[in-house]
């Protein structure tokens, strides 16, 4: 299984994998910034009310960044399924099966590597989006003390962890 | 040919080849896709240390047989041993088997070297082996480029490198000459001979019969999923070779025809000459007996049949 895992890691160099992570980061950062902009520009509306309430609290940062949570999961799902589908349609799966005929070992090693990749991608996405929002808040002179307080950081980290794990587990379940 | 997987039979066949178990042995191996029988009771034996040719028209079941041997599809019936191990346990023999199946497939955006490293990691082969095989197929200078920039011939060579990665005892190649230029084909032939000298077995499918004739010492002919012939290539070629006898006098030809018929061979008169279907070494005996009978002015020529002619003759026999 570890052989299949290490072999799969080498394939992360493909541009399609990098593109998937890139889309995840850009789309999440964009949505987070849009939410931030709506709140700070004083827009109102029924969907925005809970966000505006949470904004100044320690949960503020993760609430803004987490707006794209379902998008992250969807992109992660696409990355994993398209990877396995491509092995099949390109015909590269048979090369792998000749070198590792035990299907279960091959698949579990591959899934382990893919889930690790997806979790790293999701974590990176949340970190970059959070950094962007913090920078934007600084630029506009908005206090971020509640977000960067120890409680704020703890909330952020545990929510971020949950998000990457859930994106990985959704992929696993399908 | 029987299709019953009988263990005592396996041992018997193994004893026919002194000292070594056959590299591949199948008994009534079959694969059905719905109603269609892609491989239908295939029984064959490939001795170790030979270059075995696997020929047959398109759709004869060559690729399906290869996929069966590699454990990529499960047989519907029958059994097989590869390198002495049962087909049902591919993990026992595949580490010593290299394969090139149909057109080789790669990850187009990864380099040639990375493509091989993926498989080297998976099969647990040392990384130095990747450089070795790249050197062997003369791709070292392009190894860092993505595979999508490779020509057809280069992809084929990378496919061969992929097959050689485990330093296999048995090499299974499906149409390895596809897309190779004449020089590439000659290099491939040399490579196969070098591998045979190292005591390895090569199982080679091709429809380029002329190409196979030059390298193979064992032949399996497949038609509609069944083996029409499985044995030494020499035997097949001899079986259908001919002597052509020419003489100016018809009476002398008649004499020769009688001698040949008495020896049990088929004689066909053909435009003032005779064609005798017999082993080529019959010519000296025929010559001696014709002289004794008084036919002194005859010319005997040998006509060795090409693999292509043999194959067509076998196919014709099958249809009749």
pLDDT tens across A103-132, in order? 999 999 999 999 999 999 999 999 999 999
The per-residue pLDDT of chain A, averaged, comes to 89
Tell whether A101 is within 8 A of chain B (Cβ). Answer: yes
Do B55 and B206 touch, CB atoms closer than 8 A? yes
Tell me the per-residue pLDDT of B164-194, one tens digit each, with 9 for 90 and over: 999 999 999 998 887 788 888 888 888 899 9
Are A91 and B117 an interchain contact pair (Cβ–Cβ within 8 Å)?
no
pTM: predicted TM-score of the whole model, two decimal places: 0.78
- Could you give the ipTM of this predicted complex? 0.83
Q: Where are the alpha helices (DSSP H) in chain A?
A: 2-10, 15-40, 48-54, 60-65, 69-90, 92-99, 103-139, 145-148, 150-173
Closest chain B residue by Cα to residue A17: B109
Q: How far apart are CA A87 and CA A114, in angstroms?
A: 13
At B32 the pLDDT is 93
Q: Indicate if the pLDDT at residue B15 is higher than 60.
A: no
- Sort out which chain A residues have CB atoms less than 8 A from B67's CB and list them: 94
pLDDT of the residue at A29:
94
Please state, rounded to an integer, the average pLDDT across all residues of chain B: 85
**Which residues, listed in sequence order, are joined to residue B113 by a DSSP beta bridge?**
none
pLDDT at B319: 58
Using the predicted structure, report yes or no on whether residue B316 has a pLDDT greater than 80. Answer: no
Residue B248 has pLDDT above 50, yes or no: yes
Go through chain B and tell me how many residues it has. Answer: 320
Whether B73 and chain A come into contact, CB under 8 Å, resolves to no
CB contacts of A91 in chain B (<8 Å) are 102-103, 105
State whether residue B71 sits within 8 Å of chain A by CB.
yes
Q: What are the helix (H) ranges across B165-249?
A: 182-197, 209-215, 233-239
Average pLDDT over residues A1-10: 89
Q: How far is B307 from chain A (nearest CA, A)?
A: 32
Whether B92 contacts chain A with CB within 8 A = no
Tokens of B214: 């030059």
Task: Report the percentage of chain B scoring pLDDT > 90.
Answer: 42
- Confidence (pLDDT) at B26: 94
CA distance B256 to chain A (A): 58
More confident residue, B253 or B135: B135
Residues B15-29 as b/e (b if ≥16 CB within 10 A, e otherwise) read: eebeeebbbbbbbbb
- Which chain B residue shows the shortest CA-CA distance from A97? B72
* Closest partner CB to A3 (pick from B70, B105, B124): B124
Report the percentage of chain A scoring pLDDT > 70.
Answer: 99
CB contact under 8 A, B123 and A13: no
């Amino acid at each position: 299984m570890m052989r299949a895992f290490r072999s799969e890691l080498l394939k992360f160099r493909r541009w399609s994998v990098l593109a998937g992570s890139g889309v995840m980061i850009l789309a999440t950062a964009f949505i987070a910034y849009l939410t931030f902009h709506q709140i700070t520009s004083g827009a109102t509306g029924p969907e925005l009310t809970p966000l505006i309430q949470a904004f100044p609290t320690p949960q503020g940062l993760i609430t803004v960044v987490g707006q794209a949570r379902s998008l992250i999961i969807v992109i992660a799902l696409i990355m994993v399924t398209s990877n396995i589908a491509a092995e099949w349609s390109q015909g590269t799966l048979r090369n792998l099966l000749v070198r590792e005929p035990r299907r279960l070992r091959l698949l579990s090693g591959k899934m382990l590597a893919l889930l690790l990749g997806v979790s790293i991608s999701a974590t990176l996405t949340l970190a970059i989006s959070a950094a962007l929002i913090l920078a934007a808040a600084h630029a506009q002179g908005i206090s971020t003390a509640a977000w960067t307080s120890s409680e704020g950081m703890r909330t952020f980290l545990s929510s971020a962890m949950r998000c990457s794990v859930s994106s990985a587990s959704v992929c696993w379940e399908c | 040919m029987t299709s019953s997987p009988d263990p005592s039979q396996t041992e018997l066949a193994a004893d026919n080849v002194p000292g070594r178990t056959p590299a591949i042995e199948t008994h009534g191996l079959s694969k059905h896709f719905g109603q269609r029988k892609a491989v239908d009771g295939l029984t064959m034996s490939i001795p170790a240390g030979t270059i075995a040719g696997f020929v047959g028209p398109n759709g004869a079941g060559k690729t399906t047989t290869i996929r069966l041997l590699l454990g990529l599809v499960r047989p519907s019936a029958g059994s097989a041993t590869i390198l002495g191990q049962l087909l049902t346990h591919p993990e026992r023999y595949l580490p010593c088997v290299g394969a090139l199946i149909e057109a080789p497939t790669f990850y187009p955006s990864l380099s040639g070297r990375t493509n091989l490293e993926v498989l080297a990691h998976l099969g647990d082969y040392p990384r130095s082996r990747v450089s070795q095989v790249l050197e062997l197929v003369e791709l070292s200078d392009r190894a860092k480029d993505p595979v999508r920039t490779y020509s057809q011939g280069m992809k084929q060579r990378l496919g061969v490198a992929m097959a050689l990665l485990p330093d296999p005892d048995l090499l299974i190649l499906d149409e390895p000459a596809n897309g190779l230029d004449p020089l590439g084909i000659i290099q491939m032939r040399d490579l196969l001979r070098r591998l045979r000298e190292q005591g390895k077995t090569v199982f080679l499918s091709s429809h380029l019969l002329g190409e196979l004739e030059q390298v193979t010492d064992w032949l399996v002919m497949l038609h509609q999923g069944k083996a029409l012939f499985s044995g030494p290539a020499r035997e097949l070629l001899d079986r259908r070779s001919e002597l052509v006898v020419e003489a100016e006098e018809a009476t002398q030809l008649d004499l020769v025809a009688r001698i040949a018929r008495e020896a049990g061979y088929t004689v066909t008169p053909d435009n003032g000459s005779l064609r005798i279907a017999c082993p080529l070494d019959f010519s000296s005996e025929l010559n001696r007996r014709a002289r004794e009978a008084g036919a002194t002015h005859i010319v005997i020529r040998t006509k060795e049949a090409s693999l292509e002619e043999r194959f067509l003759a076998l196919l014709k026999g099958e249809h009749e």
